[in-house]
Structure 1
Amino acid sequence: MYRRILSLALSLGGLGFIANQGWADEAATTTEESIRVKAQREMVYLLVDKSKLTADLMTMPEDNQQSEHLISFKIAIGKEEGDKQKMGDNRTPEGIYFSQRILNGRKLGKKYGPFAIPIDFPNPLDRFLGKTGYGIWLHGVEADRRIEAAKVTEGCVAFYNADIQSLTQWLVPDQSVVVIAKDGSQVNRPENVAKVRQLTQEWIDSWAKRDLDHYISLYHDSFTVDGKDKQAYYEYKKRVFGSYKNMEVAMNNIRVFTHDRYAVAVMNQDFNGDNRYRSYGRKILYWQLTGEDEWKLFHEEFDEKPLQFVDLSREKIAQIIKSSPSTKALQEHTESRL
């Protein structure tokens, strides 16, 4: 089985891994055949499945094509079962998060291994629900055997040291999505992705058309921003919409991630008002599931750093599969269950 997995990975081919913003490895030497293959830039995200004790590196294309599984890592998680609720409960949180700045393990305790990648727990929905805690990281270990214990962390997600080092090449600081779920089958269900994508497009269209009534109807009754509740935000947007003679709103590179309770849409936003005010950067929309197939916009954020994608390298992926301790460990786990 191991040979079949490796053979499949190697057969994918592709260009060497290209450095991005100084955080990835330099481009690997390519073969004459791989040079003919155009590099594919794509969003890559990590799906942590607590029930399977695996973390899958996946692609998330913009269209409706199915995302592609790149590699699985074996992981260890929190000592206690369930979704994190409060500081010190030793549970691993469940939700949709963004990876943060990579931390060098030499400046941390030995138990974190060579690298740690924080996630933004608690996120806006976590805070609204009253969840507390901090310092939830993806990290290595002082010794790889700790991964075999499975449920040993204080809420973090731990990896074999070689695997966390590989992840530093794929997760873009402050940008990459990390989805943590009790059961991975809850994540990105096609009907949920389609519905949230539809609502996101309605939000974009109503803004561009200055259809304020429909625009505000998409927001949750508990929506707040900068101290404004939903009604105050309505009045604010009414003034903004009326302040421009010409207003252009464009969104691109839209990606939607869904969980069992909420969803996140992330995209690049380009706004131009009368050529006197222009903003370009990343927009994040948090959609909360409020009823059966009913989603409302709960929170939104904007920053001036547009989305950064990675150059997919089949050659690099094949190398990681070949060298990853998880490949053998997951193979042995599968065979032991047969």
Structure 2
Amino acid sequence: MNKIIILLCMVINIFATDLVDLYRLKGLNAVEEKLENSLRDKEYWDSYLKNKDVELGYYETKKYIILTHKEESELELYKIDNNRLNLITRNSVIVGEKEGDKYLEGDKRTPEGVYDLISKKTKLDQFYGPFALVTSYPNTFDKSLNKKGYGIWIHGMPLENVEREKYTKGCIALDNHELEKLDKNIDLKNAILLTSDREFKKAKREEISLVLSSIYKWKDSWKKSDIKRYLKYYSPEFKKDDGSDFKIFSEYKHRVFSKKERKKIKFSNINITPYPNSLNKRMFKIIMDERYVSPSVNFKGKKELFLEIVNNEIKILAEG
């Protein structure tokens, strides 16, 4: 009943006459399919994003973006408010001693990419200041590349009166009072960290609309078990976080899709972030809620995609 009410409200406010007639003649499923068609249409998303600020990405739930420029040793905090980016603070920071992306444990490099802040650590050695914000490095994409290391934090400066160090072992460090301000200004579960080596390449509306429309096209091929169309959304470089490659993934999906199971797939709370990287790829990270129901699987949780744009098409590099 709730589903019917929601769809009818959309009918009244959007294409009232046409959709009412469609509902009357062909039923609720036909109305839902027409609305899904709109979500697969890039022009719909072009229009929807017209007055939204998407330079740092598109967010339905995330509220805070921490952007760290490694080369400039600078950190910026933005708050998303009414689809606008508001710069809250800009601070000098210290990053890893070695230039470049992190690949090995102990290489003294700060990783490049997009990370969640997963917890706040207190009662640390005085070297790290009053506390540290723990990042999700290595993420799914890092693991697919077999990147090593752990314990990448945003932390403070030594509490004792000692000379400020010039570098970290890979973490991001800022003055203690600025760390405390940062912590007070964000909500960890709704914040993300972007770490970029050189000039950060901002997102364009046409890129975000391409990603959004393609996600729904990808979902449609998945729902209909159209294996040929489904696999076209994956890069030949695709790897799972366990290191298995596209060939293994393709063989597995052929077996699953051959069952032709009826399934329902719903995405919500979509967040899309331009993904800084050292591979010279135009990448984006997508994190969203997924509801998947079939005769053999009932799943409700997070879906994570790491993709690149190639020749105006998305190609999935890793997923979790």
Task: Give the TM-score taking structure 2 as reference length.
Answer: 0.67
Q: Which residue of 2 aligns with 1:307?
A: none
8 A contact 1:193–1:257 mirrored in 2 = no
Provide the rounded CA distance (Å) in 2 between the counterparts of 1:187 and 1:171.
Answer: 24
Q: Which residue of 2 aligns with 1:117?
A: 133
Q: Does 1:266 align with 2:281?
A: no
Would the alpha carbon gap of residues 258 and 103 (structure 1) be closer, same or farther in structure 2, given more than 3 Å must change? same
Q: Which residue of 2 aligns with 1:48?
A: 68
Provide the rounded CA distance (Å) in 2 between the counterparts of 1:122 and 1:247.
Answer: 32
Would the alpha carbon gap of residues 42 and 95 (structure 1) be closer, same or farther in structure 2, given more than 3 Å must change? closer
Q: One-letter code of the match for 2:291? A: D
Q: Which residue of 2 aligns with 1:223?
A: 238
Q: Which runs of 5+ in 2 are unaligned?
A: 1-59
Q: Which residue of 1 aligns with 2:100?
A: 82
SS at match of 2:94: strand
Q: One-letter code of the match for 1:172? A: L
Q: Which residue of 1 aligns with 2:30?
A: none
Provide the rounded CA distance (Å) in 1 between the counterparts of 2:79 and 2:308.
Answer: 23
Instruction: After TM superposition, give the deviation of residue 293 of structure 1 in Å.
Output: 4.9
**For each residue in 1:209-260, what CA deviation from the matched residue of structure 2 results, as whole angstroms up to 9, or x when unmatched?**
3322111111122334467543443343344345465311010111111134
Provide the rounded CA distance (Å) in 1 between the counterparts of 2:61 and 2:141.
Answer: 30
Q: Does 1:285 align with 2:305?
A: yes
Q: One-letter code of the match for 1:56? A: E
Would the alpha carbon gap of residues 207 and 128 (structure 1) be closer, same or farther in structure 2, given more than 3 Å must change? closer
**For each residue in 1:266-323, what CA deviation from the matched residue of structure 2 results, as whole angstroms up to 9, or x when unmatched?**
111111224x74221111101145x56554211111xxxxxxxxxxxxxxxxxxxxxx
Q: Which runs of 5+ in 1 are unaligned?
A: 1-39, 302-338
Provide the rounded CA distance (Å) in 1 between the counterparts of 2:108 and 2:161.
Answer: 20
Q: One-letter code of the match for 1:297? A: I
Provide the rounded CA distance (Å) in 1 between the counterparts of 2:300 and 2:160.
Answer: 43
- The partner residue of 1:97 within 97, 100, 115 is 115
Provide the rounded CA distance (Å) in 1 between the counterparts of 2:162 and 2:257.
Answer: 56
Provide the rounded CA distance (Å) in 2 between the counterparts of 1:240 and 1:130.
Answer: 27
Identity level (%): 28
Q: What is the RMSD of the two structures over their aligned residues, measured on CA atoms?
A: 3.3
Instruction: After TM superposition, give the deviation of residue 143 of structure 1 in Å.
Output: 4.5
Provide the rounded CA distance (Å) in 2 between the counterparts of 1:213 and 1:157.
Answer: 44
**For each residue in 1:114-166, what CA deviation from the matched residue of structure 2 results, as whole angstroms up to 9, or x when unmatched?**
111222323343344454332211111115998976x4211110122233234
Task: Give the TM-score taking structure 1 as reference length.
Answer: 0.63
**For each residue in 1:185-232, what CA deviation from the matched residue of structure 2 results, as whole angstroms up to 9, or x when unmatched?**
324344443433333232222223332211111112233446754344
Provide the rounded CA distance (Å) in 1 between the counterparts of 2:235 and 2:162.
Answer: 43
**For each residue in 1:76-121, what CA deviation from the matched residue of structure 2 results, as whole angstroms up to 9, or x when unmatched?**
21223333343333222211122222211x1x21111111122232
Q: Which residue of 1 aligns with 2:90?
A: 72
Q: One-letter code of the match for 2:224? A: K
Q: Superposition pairs for residues 78-227 of structure 1, below 5 Å?
A: 78-104=96-122, 106=123, 108-143=124-159, 151-169=166-184, 170-172=186-188, 176-183=191-198, 185-225=200-240
Q: Superposition pairs for residues 312-323 of structure 1, below 5 Å?
A: none
Q: Does 1:256 align with 2:256?
A: no
Provide the rounded CA distance (Å) in 1 between the counterparts of 2:261 and 2:149.
Answer: 46
Would the alpha carbon gap of residues 197 and 87 (structure 1) be closer, same or farther in structure 2, given more than 3 Å must change? same
Provide the rounded CA distance (Å) in 2 between the counterparts of 1:167 and 1:267.
Answer: 25
Q: One-letter code of the match for 1:279? A: F
Q: Which residue of 1 aligns with 2:315?
A: 296
SS at match of 1:197: helix
Q: One-letter code of the match for 1:264? A: K
8 A contact 1:96–1:263 mirrored in 2 = no
Would the alpha carbon gap of residues 250 and 59 (structure 1) be closer, same or farther in structure 2, given more than 3 Å must change? farther
Provide the rounded CA distance (Å) in 1 between the counterparts of 2:159 and 2:220.
Answer: 52
8 A contact 1:250–1:269 mirrored in 2 = yes
